[in-house]
Amino acid sequence: MVHAERPVLVTGAGGFIGGHLVADLVADGFDVRAVDIKPVARWYQVHRAAENIEADLRLRSSAFEAVAGSGSIFNLACDMGGMGFIESNKAACMVNVLIDTHLLEAARDEDLDAFFYASTACVYPSYLQDDPGVTALREGDTYPADPEDGYGWQKLFGERLCKNFGEDYGLPVRVGRYHNVYGPNGTWRGGREKAPAAVCRKVAEAVRSGRREIEIWGDGEQTRSFTFIDDGVRGTRLLAASEVEQPLNIGSSEMVTINELVDLVSDIAGVELERHYDLSAPQGVRGRNSDNTLVESRLGWSPSITLREGLERTYEWVSAEVNRVAA
């Protein structure tokens, strides 16, 4: 049951997933309180129907002000980015624990329908991801713990915080582990972008410049699965509205190599590119894929948008952004 008279709080609302989530909630008629540390003018999406607030949730007072009177909370606030960012900003990623702690403390005093926590596949042990032919990661694979240094440890600690607040105070926590969510209206340049947006940008720049070449981080044989934003939002809302207290994967099981990702985007753009491999660039784990057995059985959820369809929509938007900035 949703408190119709109380707003839904979305933290990190100026970010990629947060902006799409606010759009979906507003479209369904919810009263949304959208909060982000960035000035509203820099949000990826701004929805006039929402209450849009600039606030630093690392500050305890700001977190309590944001939470006050909420009916449910989606905590997506986090200083993070793609592999190039998180491998070089481990301390900054760890400071995100202040956001999680303060929001949970504030939520403890509210009669919430749900407290959704956005976790990540980076919590899974690196020793299970050292081969491109990785076995898909199951929720029970988390321990013994050896997550991504910095960001992965912070998110795993955040999961433990949620678990303990749920057990000690009866807080209805729900934890979703995102696997490489991508799509339009997000970061596509500047070092925080993830692989799909980065590849779309590089291909679009090659098309615009006429230079038929692309740089790839690593040897291109590292594997990943990518989840289109519409599927990610649907999985998020289903989990938040459920009674499932254990963490669940929100990801696609359609695994590809980075070379295959480049193949797809190049084909969408109608170009052939000479590839240059930077073996010194950040690459992350060697292989990662989502096992959706548990989430399908508990929520009846699985992604409905193929990787090619999602990339077509993403490339169209990124290409337009590349041309807009260049113009």
Helix 195-209, helix 258-269: angle, nearest 10: 40
* Distance between CA atoms of residues 175 and 234, nearest Å: 14
Q: How far apart are CA 296 and CA 303, in angstroms?
A: 10
Structure tokens at 139: 């929720």
Q: What is the CA radius of gyration of the chain?
A: 19
C-alpha torsion angle, residues 156, 160, 165, 170 (rounded to 10): 100
Distance CA 17, CA 236 (A): 10
Separation of CA 327 from chain center: 30
Q: Point out the residues that are catalytic.
A: 151
